[in-house]
């Protein structure tokens, strides 16, 4: 889906469920990682996570668009647009928007851990990217001594 298609879909959803026009920009933002979308207060634009659409499809995307449009329309009208506000909860429930989106699967980084430590008392394993001072740090589980096992 392109930004133009997303813009058109957002405008259609706004008319269909809110009976109001969406007069700003809707676009994908590849940098979004932990959220399905966001409404920008200063510009009134909506940004959507393309990874969410790729992973879960159009239905999940529509639910998140409705959520962001609730923020948009309430903010424009000067009503309570925040998640905890009554106006927000009421309108979100009325239009059937999603309160939370599904977790977007993250791409695993190929970067592996360089250092591996083990507790001498409880055998808890610790993997670290950086070397730690075993004289200064202890096991977070039992406060036992740490012993380096391997380093790459």
pLDDT at 144: 93
What is the C-alpha to C-alpha distance for residues 126 and 42, in angstroms, rounded to an integer?
Answer: 44
* The residue to which tokens 């925040």 are assigned: 82
pLDDT at 152: 67
Average pLDDT over every residue of 9-14: 96
Write out pLDDT tens, residues 74-127. 999 999 999 999 999 999 999 998 888 888 766 655 567 889 999 999 999 999
Average pLDDT over every residue of 136-140: 93
What is the C-alpha to C-alpha distance for residues 25 and 143, in angstroms, rounded to an integer?
Answer: 54
What is the C-alpha to C-alpha distance for residues 122 and 118, in angstroms, rounded to an integer?
Answer: 9
Write out pLDDT tens, residues 15-67. 999 999 999 999 999 998 888 999 999 999 999 999 988 888 899 999 999 99
Q: At what angle do helices 58-77 and 86-95 cross, to 10 degrees?
A: 140
pLDDT at 63: 93
* Residues tagged active-site: 68
Q: In this structure, are strands 146-151 and 125-128 parallel, antiparallel, or unpaired?
A: unpaired
Kindly tell me if the per-residue pLDDT of 139 is higher than 60.
Answer: yes
């Amino acid at each position: 889906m392109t930004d133009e298609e997303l813009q058109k879909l957002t405008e259609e959803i706004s008319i269909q469920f809110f009976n109001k026009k969406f007069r700003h920009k809707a676009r994908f933002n590849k940098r979004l990682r932990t959220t399905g979308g966001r409404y920008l207060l200063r510009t009134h634009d909506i940004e959507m996570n393309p990874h969410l659409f790729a992973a879960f499809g159009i239905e999940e995307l529509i639910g998140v668009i409705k959520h962001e449009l609730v923020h948009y329309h309430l903010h424009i009208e000067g009503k309570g647009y925040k998640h905890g506000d009554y106006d927000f909860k009421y309108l979100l429930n009325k239009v059937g928007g999603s309160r939370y989106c599904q977790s977007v699967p993250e791409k695993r980084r190929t970067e592996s851990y360089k250092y591996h430590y083990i507790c001498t008392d409880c055998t808890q394993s610790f993997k670290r990217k950086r070397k730690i001072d075993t004289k200064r740090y202890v096991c977070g589980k039992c406060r036992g001594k740490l012993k380096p096992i391997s380093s790459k």
